[in-house]
Structure 1
Amino acid sequence: MASLRHNIYMIKNKLAVVVLLITLFSITIHKEAVCQNFDDTYPLTLQESIDLAIDLSPLSQSARYALIANQWRYRSFRADLLPGLSASGNAPNYRRSFRDNLNPDGTTSLIYTQQSNASFGLSIEQPVMPTGGNLSISTGITRLGVFANENTYLWSSTPVVIGYSQPLFQFNELKWRNRIEPLQLQIAQKEYTEAMESLSLTVTQRYFDLLLSRINLDIAEFNVAANDSIYNISQGRYNVGNIAENDLLQTELQLRNAESSLTQAQLNYDQQIDNFRLLLGLSPDIPIEVDIPEDVPEFHVDQERALQMARLYNSMYLNFEMQTLEAERTLDMAMKQSSFSATIQANYGLNQTSENFLNTYQEPLSQQFVALNFQIPIFNWGKQRAEVNFARNTQRQVADDIAFEQAQFDLQVQNMVAEFHQLRDQVLLAELSERIADRRYEVARNRYQIGQIDITNLFIAQTERDAALRSYIQAIRNYWISFYNLRRMTLFDFEQDVVITHDL
């Protein structure tokens, strides 16, 4: 494998020299044009790719908007707890028609009327969250106009009216929202952080998919060159009678297969790099390249601590709490709606009427209003009892589901920590195997050139070398995927020993 890396290194150096000469020449001739149109290849590390995706990816933008939407939803709820000022009225309200009129002798006659009515009012309402009641203060004025032989206007004012409405033995929606909405916001914040970590995990997967496709392309290019050289050597040996025609045909077939693999590897690489740019939110014409991460961090993750962090910071546990609250809310609603309920209303205020607008606010008279409305379910074929039992058993089902899902999640975290520790050892073993396979191929190639082994053994060494390199890349891929998956599930960075947070 050392020869492959050496050849790739030499090719890159030659390309770099050519690009440098072309750049210098272009700057001399067309400096301004080059500054606008010349694009360099951007080498991206894994961390740089993740940072780009968090800033530019459409997936990160979608997660941000989801969190912002939940923040506005919570602000809407908080506004429901505060006093609200509203205005109401109608103008003009004109009517010209016949209407029924009750005469003193008990008979009814139709009279022709022409009148208008206009009103305007202001009110302030304050919900009382602990009790579910509503406190209001209002003021208003009304003008009635009667148009006959002589136009008459009558004003009516209510300078102030204080009212209170209190449901009794009823479901308190606002009180439950006060428990649920803050928790919903916490879940949204946790899910946003998890979405960013999930994006990091996805970028890691795509990064190594692109890296592996590039390695496969490098291997395919090297194999074409190597097999072409072997085929030329075999032709010479066949011409002097050192090998049979079957061996010559086998080398030619290997060369054609290598050329076919190169075409497929190039197509796969082009697809992978396009998908990677799309995930990162980059323009399709930006040239990028990725390389094997040099460092594999080594640190210990305690299983019990990982469980503790997951229970503290993962949104799943908040969702468990949310499901419990929703089940309790449904049961409370079913019980309150199936029993006796009442509403008491009380108003106290001032009012006055006059044909003169200014007099409507002089010496106002008091007004009072008290009402008690109630509802008692008597018989409905057991509907209320069925709904209560349904809600109660649903609550028990939710509790059992949560217990099982929590145990599953805990087991998943434990398995992930155990797997994480093993994956680093696998990276070290894969790296050692790759070096051995690369050295074996070099030895086999040199021995074939001097005729000490046949072509079959050389091709076996070549296949094992390629497989060892792919296994090494796959081992690194598995390690980093486990690394970011552990971060996603615990929302804790065990390498830096800090809680993971992402700001908008």
Structure 2
Amino acid sequence: MLYDMNNIITRFTYVFVILLVISIRARAQSSNDLGSLTLEQCIEIAQEQSAVSSAARYALISNRWQYKSYKADLLPSISLTGDAPNYDKSIFSNVLDNGEVTFSSRTQSEASASIAVEQNILPTGGTLSLSSGLTRLGIFEGENTYLWQSTPMVVGLRQPIFQFNNLKWRKKTETLQYEIAQKEYVEEMENIAKTVTQRFFDVYLAKINLQNAKLNVTQNDSVYQISKGRYKVGSIAENDLLQTELALRNAESNLTTARIEYERTLNEFKILLGYSTDTQLKLRDPKEPPKISVNIEKARQLALKNNSESLNYKLNEIQADRSLAQAKSEAGLSATLNVNYGLNQTARDFADLYDRAENRQFVTLGFDVPIFNWGKQKAQVNAARNQQREVANSVQFQRRQFMQQVDYTVSQFLQLRGQVLLAAKADTIAQRRYQVAQNRYKIGKIDITNLFIAQDEKDSARRAYIRALRSFWTGWYNLRELTLYDFKEDEPISYEL
């Protein structure tokens, strides 16, 4: 009885382990099987997890932190500085009243600490500061002596005069550069959508070619069998029989080629989406193109407003103006005004340090006037001025080219839907013609050459229809990338990190 129980437990354990292994494999297979995906689902997957989309997100995050660094320069900053213990034991020369030189020694320490608040002044480029400090001097000779010095409050102003205001120009460039970075991120997402669309239809076309190749093998084999029967009864010549056999062998070869091409394009598409090549994936048939109305003038305005290339033209102009302003300021008179006003006091006892504090004033005006430098400043100003003119003319030409590109893209897109409809109609006619030709060949109404011509036209029409769909959806996402606007939903395009 005990032996039977052990045997039952052993068998139960064995069955449980097998079921567990089967369950784990089933889960692994299900997690590795994406099922059938539409074009929109493939685009969404690539925008979420592909390597290209991750790189675009990191680039935008980097620009965001850089912009935050600039914004921090506009806010007050607090700093704490100090020295401790700053101990000094040394021998130094000392000149007496009678001119005799002697050597003396000293041992002392000087420790200090100060805290300051600084605020940049954007309109003038100056700096306003508020500080407070404390210093202790220790003299170690015989009886140790300590002296204290305090600056309870010092208000300071450092103001450049006739100098280049870098902070003011940074406000223009940094804000625009961050806006460009945001636009570039959206454009990269739309570029991913366009790339996925192109690869999607490459895979779909390879799939259609494989289906046609399989169908052609089956149909050519049927034609070959019919031709062998007709040849036996003498109704066709040997040349026609050989032609049907050759067509069958070519169809079999094309099937092998089509299968290899489909596997290649499908694996490349999986990698583009961020998956390994062993992932199971099927593509659903693409949607018919919707009717979308696009106004050319509106597209021009949106492209000028939203496209990063258009914004870069504006940035180039600002940077050229900045270089000219800097060259002019460096060529003329420049000065710096430093003004400090506050309180200070000294005492032997720390308790008396802040009693009856005395005024502390400091004013200085430093200046720099170029007198003669062999025309260096004039050359730098002329160089910057002509560079500004060069940029202005170049940007004007580039803007015209850009607007021409927008016009062409919109005009081309408006014709693509009509091309898809024509290609779909041609595909339907070619499929029907082949069916008629096949039936007529079976009853001996047409020869084998006309049948194969109909077969080639059938395959060509189907490929042309797929290519027309590819051109439409690629053109759609190209228009979105150019204007950063969804004309179908009539709203701007945006993506969150």
Could you tell me the TM-score, scaled by structure 2's length? 0.90
Match of 1:45 in 2: 38
- Tell me how far 1:240 sits from its aligned partner: 4.5
Rounded to whole Å, the distance in 1 between the matches of 2:152 and 2:380 is 47
Q: Which one of the candidate residues 473, 479, 489 is aligned to 2:466?
A: 473
CA change 1:28–1:281 in 2 (3 A) is closer
- Tell me how far 1:40 sits from its aligned partner: 4.8
Rounded to whole Å, the distance in 2 between the matches of 1:459 and 1:179 is 68
- Tell me how far 1:119 sits from its aligned partner: 1.4
- Number of aligned residue pairs: give it: 479
Rounded to whole Å, the distance in 2 between the matches of 1:106 and 1:369 is 35
Q: Which one is further off, 58-67 or 123-132?
A: 58-67
- Tell me how far 1:241 sits from its aligned partner: 4.3
Q: 2:482 is matched by which residue type in structure 1?
A: M
Q: 2:173 is matched by which residue type in structure 1?
A: I
After superposition, the C-alpha distances for 1:301-354 in whole angstroms (9 at most, x for unaligned) are 222222222223223332222111111111100000111100011111222223
CA change 1:255–1:134 in 2 (3 A) is same
User: Is 1:60 aligned with 2:32?
Assistant: no
Rounded to whole Å, the distance in 2 between the matches of 1:452 and 1:28 is 63
User: Is 1:367 aligned with 2:360?
Assistant: yes
Identity among equivalent positions (%) equals 51
SS in 2 for 1:319: helix
Rounded to whole Å, the distance in 2 between the matches of 1:108 and 1:245 is 130
Whether the 8 Å CA contact 1:437–1:464 is kept in 2: the answer is yes
Rounded to whole Å, the distance in 1 between the matches of 2:56 and 2:319 is 25
SS in 1 for 2:313: helix
Match of 2:344 in 1: 351
Rounded to whole Å, the distance in 2 between the matches of 1:231 and 1:83 is 88
- Tell me how far 1:274 sits from its aligned partner: 2.0
Match of 2:272 in 1: 279
- Tell me how far 1:30 sits from its aligned partner: 5.4
Q: Which one of the candidate residues 118, 126, 131 is aligned to 2:124?
A: 131
CA change 1:159–1:322 in 2 (3 A) is same
Q: Which one of the candidate residues 203, 216, 224 is aligned to 1:210?
A: 203
Write the mapping of 1:157-306 to structure 2, written as runs, cut at 5 A.
157-306=150-299
Match of 2:399 in 1: 406
Rounded to whole Å, the distance in 1 between the matches of 2:362 and 2:101 is 32
Q: Which one is further off, 178-187 or 448-457?
A: 448-457
Q: 2:470 is matched by which residue type in structure 1?
A: R
Q: 2:363 is matched by which residue type in structure 1?
A: V
Match of 2:380 in 1: 387
CA change 1:114–1:27 in 2 (3 A) is closer
Q: Which one is further off, 277-286 or 417-426?
A: 277-286
Match of 1:422 in 2: 415
Write the mapping of 1:17-36 to structure 2, written as runs, cut at 5 A.
34-36=26-28
SS in 2 for 1:439: helix
CA change 1:479–1:222 in 2 (3 A) is same
User: Is 1:435 aligned with 2:425?
Assistant: no
After superposition, the C-alpha distances for 1:66-122 in whole angstroms (9 at most, x for unaligned) are 222222222211111111100011222222333333332334443333332221110
- Tell me how far 1:472 sits from its aligned partner: 0.5
Match of 1:333 in 2: 326
Match of 2:84 in 1: 91
Whether the 8 Å CA contact 1:156–1:351 is kept in 2: the answer is yes
SS in 2 for 1:34: helix
User: Is 1:315 aligned with 2:299?
Assistant: no
CA change 1:188–1:29 in 2 (3 A) is closer
Rounded to whole Å, the distance in 2 between the matches of 1:146 and 1:118 is 12
CA change 1:185–1:29 in 2 (3 A) is closer
SS in 1 for 2:154: strand
Match of 1:463 in 2: 456
- Tell me how far 1:402 sits from its aligned partner: 1.4
SS in 2 for 1:345: strand
Rounded to whole Å, the distance in 1 between the matches of 2:383 and 2:36 is 60
Write the mapping of 1:138-153 to structure 2, written as runs, cut at 5 A.
138-153=131-146
Rounded to whole Å, the distance in 1 between the matches of 2:232 and 2:337 is 111
Q: 1:417 is matched by which residue type in structure 2?
A: V
- Tell me how far 1:123 sits from its aligned partner: 0.6
Q: 2:196 is matched by which residue type in structure 1?
A: V
Cα-Cα RMSD = 2.3
SS in 2 for 1:88: strand
SS in 2 for 1:503: coil
After superposition, the C-alpha distances for 1:221-270 in whole angstroms (9 at most, x for unaligned) are 22222233333333444444444444343333333332332222222222
Q: Which one is further off, 28-37 or 58-67?
A: 28-37
Q: Which one is further off, 421-430 or 248-257?
A: 248-257
After superposition, the C-alpha distances for 1:451-497 in whole angstroms (9 at most, x for unaligned) are 33333222222111111100000011111111111111112222222
Structure 1: stretches of 5+ with no match in the other structure? 1-25
Match of 1:155 in 2: 148
SS in 2 for 1:346: strand
Match of 2:15 in 1: none
Rounded to whole Å, the distance in 1 between the matches of 2:210 and 2:261 is 9
SS in 2 for 1:361: coil
- Tell me how far 1:29 sits from its aligned partner: 11
Structure 2: stretches of 5+ with no match in the other structure? 1-17
Whether the 8 Å CA contact 1:56–1:282 is kept in 2: the answer is no
CA change 1:222–1:99 in 2 (3 A) is farther
